[in-house]
Structure 1
Amino acid sequence: MAQQVPVTVFGGPTALVEYAGMRFLTDPTFDGPGDYELPGGLVLTKTAPSRITPDELGPVDVVLLSHDQHSDNLDTSGRAFLAGVPLTLTTGDGAERLGGTARGLAAWESAELSRPDGGTVTVTAVPALHGPEGAEAIAGVVIGFVLTSPGQPTVYISGDNASLDLVREIAERFGPVDTAVLFAGAPRLPVFDGALVVLDGPQAAQAAQILGVRHVVPAHCDSWAHFTEGREDVVRAFEAADIADRLQWG
């Protein structure tokens, strides 16, 4: 059996996934607490700093950026961080906006990356829905990622996804999954009349069961005021589903 994949969560959606000799970072957010205004006058408030600085983090091989258009997934210092990363994989529109080393992937499109040992890692973009049906018109396109490599376990990174139907599609293609980094926190925004824009705790537990996952690393459940649930809510939901033993806190 392959060794457990190390995942460290630094706050919000930012996590380091050490996989097949490579270092992958999700949605970099390193700013301190503060307010961020989005188009339309919506303000997102960050309530806690990252638990690491870019200098403390050290080199990263690839950034896996679910989307670039919201500051709780890519803040000011996160944008600056991208300039020093060899490759950022994100949405097609995001890559055009970011430029530099950003490369766009459509849902189900893959990128083959060279491992330090001479093998390859396949990064496949998978669909995500950032809100209720039709949310793309307001929230924009979002993707998640699946990492696969010969002799390595399968890793799923959800990104800002609120759709269990999409999780089922991903499970059909890649399940069972060894490790899932599930963005949760039950964020709600008035622009969607309070509907969930990312999974809540019970939905995260359902996603884990759908994927047949062995290890679940919750992310995106702290550090922002519009998140309506925290770690304790995720734990309670997994306990209620009798799968709390799958939780792995990075």
Structure 2
Amino acid sequence: MRITRIGGPTALVEWEGWRILTDPTFDPPGRRYDFGFGTNSVKTVGPAVDLADLGDIDLVLLSHHHHADNLDDAGRAALASARTVLTTTAGAASLTRTKPDALADVRGLRAGDSTVVTADGKPPLTVTGTPCRHGAPLTRPIVGPVVGFALSLADSARPGLWMTGDTVLYGALLRAMTGLRPDVALVHMGAVKFPLTGPLAYTMDAADAVELIEAVDPGTVVPVHVEGWSHFSQQEEAAAVVLAASTVRDRVRWATLGEPLEVG
């Protein structure tokens, strides 16, 4: 498996002939985005790979469609060029309603739902939605639904790839994912916070990620969603210090922005 980290949550995964793009964000830096209810954030780092240079995409894994740090304006162009887009059920309904002609195959998943994705000349992928909670208890009406993805080949006893999606660490996630043992995990961190909501976090910090990694037991961990936005309260340098001192340090591989990393 080859992973090219593009910026924020966005990565290109090349695996068994598949070209998979996660949470497309390709806008240039400098713009301030509204996240609702008086919250906002500035994109501080642009994409390490231009969308025009990305090439063909077979599959987009979109953890949620309603926050610009996971799907920005330029990133939406990537959806139209992909064969298949997987996202939340709410996201699938919204994308289909607003761009019915551009998206040939968009599917919504809830945690526990599975779908099989096929493409000529590539092995079929079974993709299962995994739990996410994008904030404190009872915040879902504000922050909206999010989903993670576990991808498996038909002849594999365990997932080849797990993308956590934007989530905090919570009991249902730990219970569902303990012992999953994917070959590779893309772990979203950043400890998202806003001044308006004080100490409330909307994604994991590195210490939370360590606890989740210990439970899930992946072979390799590639951190994402840990730089490039002003509302990430724990940026890459600080997260790297925590992970380097942790019990999972030997599993963590930092992908340099824009440079392909061979993993798994």
Q: Is the 8 A contact 1:221 1:230 kept in 2?
A: yes
Shift of the 129–191 alpha-carbon distance from structure 1 to 2, 3 Å rule, reads farther
- Equivalent in the alignment of 1:183: 188
Q: Is the 8 A contact 2:38 2:196 kept in 1?
A: no
Gaps (5+ residues) in structure 1?
A: none
Mapping for residues 76-91 of structure 1, pairs under 5 Å: 76-91=73-88
Q: What is the alpha-carbon distance in structure 1 between the residues aligned to residue 21 and residue 248 of structure 2?
A: 26
Mapping for residues 1-250 of structure 1, pairs under 5 Å: 5-33=1-29, 34-99=31-96, 100=100, 101=103, 102-114=106-118, 116-117=120-121, 119-152=123-156, 153-172=159-178, 175-250=180-255
Runs of 4+ in 1 over 6 A off after TM superposition: none
Superposed displacement of residue 116, structure 1: 4.3
Q: What is the alpha-carbon distance in structure 2 between the residues aligned to residue 166 and residue 219 of structure 1?
A: 22
Superposed displacement of residue 229, structure 1: 1.2
Counterpart amino acid of residue 155 in structure 1? L
Deviations 1:21-73 (A, max 9, x none): 21111100000111112333322210010101111111110110000111111
Shift of the 23–48 alpha-carbon distance from structure 1 to 2, 3 Å rule, reads same
Task: Report SS of the residue matched to 1:232.
Answer: helix
Deviations 1:216-241 (A, max 9, x none): 00000000001011222222222222
Higher-RCO chain (CA-CA 8 Å, sequence separation at least 6): 2
Q: Normalising by structure 2, what TM-score?
A: 0.87
Deviations 1:186-211 (A, max 9, x none): 11124543311001011111111111
Q: What is the alpha-carbon distance in structure 1 between the residues aligned to residue 15 and residue 54 of structure 2?
A: 16
Q: What is the alpha-carbon distance in structure 2 between the residues aligned to residue 156 and residue 166 of structure 1?
A: 17
Q: How many equivalent pairs are there?
A: 245
Deviations 1:68-125 (A, max 9, x none): 1111110000112211111110011111111143211111111101254453210111
- Equivalent in the alignment of 2:258: none
RMSD: 1.7
Q: Is the 8 A contact 2:18 2:122 kept in 1?
A: no
Deviations 1:134-158 (A, max 9, x none): 1211100100000111345531101
Counterpart amino acid of residue 248 in structure 1? R
Superposed displacement of residue 166, structure 1: 3.6
Counterpart amino acid of residue 40 in structure 1? F
Shift of the 80–133 alpha-carbon distance from structure 1 to 2, 3 Å rule, reads same
Q: What is the alpha-carbon distance in structure 2 between the residues aligned to residue 80 and residue 45 of structure 1?
A: 21
Gaps (5+ residues) in structure 2?
A: 256-264
Q: What is the alpha-carbon distance in structure 2 between the residues aligned to residue 85 and residue 118 of structure 1?
A: 15
Task: Report SS of the residue matched to 1:233.
Answer: helix
Shift of the 208–49 alpha-carbon distance from structure 1 to 2, 3 Å rule, reads same
Counterpart amino acid of residue 121 in structure 1? L
Q: What is the alpha-carbon distance in structure 2 between the residues aligned to residue 141 and residue 74 of structure 1?
A: 14
Task: Report SS of the residue matched to 1:86.
Answer: strand
- Equivalent in the alignment of 2:261: none
Mean CA deviation greater in 78-87 or 122-131: 78-87
